[in-house]
């Protein structure tokens, strides 16, 4: 993705795919954020984009805050 495209990722109705709705990242990010996490992107134009989902870890014996 280009730098311009990366700035628009997660914007409603923005897509780089033919026939895409532009809602997938928006919905996924909202669910991830609601669980205390986040998304990171690393991209090289023409080579691909990696998306990293980060979620907090809570032990079964440790109550969630």
| Residue 64, pLDDT above cutoff 80 | no
pTM > 0.85: no
Q: Name the pLDDT band for 63 (thresholds 50, 70, 90).
A: low
41 Cβ contact partners less than 8 Å away, ≥ 6 residues apart: 1, 6, 9, 49, 50, 51, 52
Report the pLDDT value the prediction gives residue 51, as an integer from 0 to 100: 93
pLDDT tens sequence across 9-62: 888 898 888 988 888 899 999 999 999 999 999 999 889 999 999 999 877 766
């Amino acid at each position: 993705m280009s730098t311009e495209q990366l700035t628009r990722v997660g914007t409603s109705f923005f897509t780089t795919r033919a026939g895409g709705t532009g809602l997938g990242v928006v919905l996924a990010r909202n669910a991830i954020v609601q669980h205390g996490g986040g998304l990171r992107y690393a991209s090289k134009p023409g080579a691909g984009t990696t998306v990293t989902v980060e979620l907090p870890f809570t032990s079964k014996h440790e109550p969630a805050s």
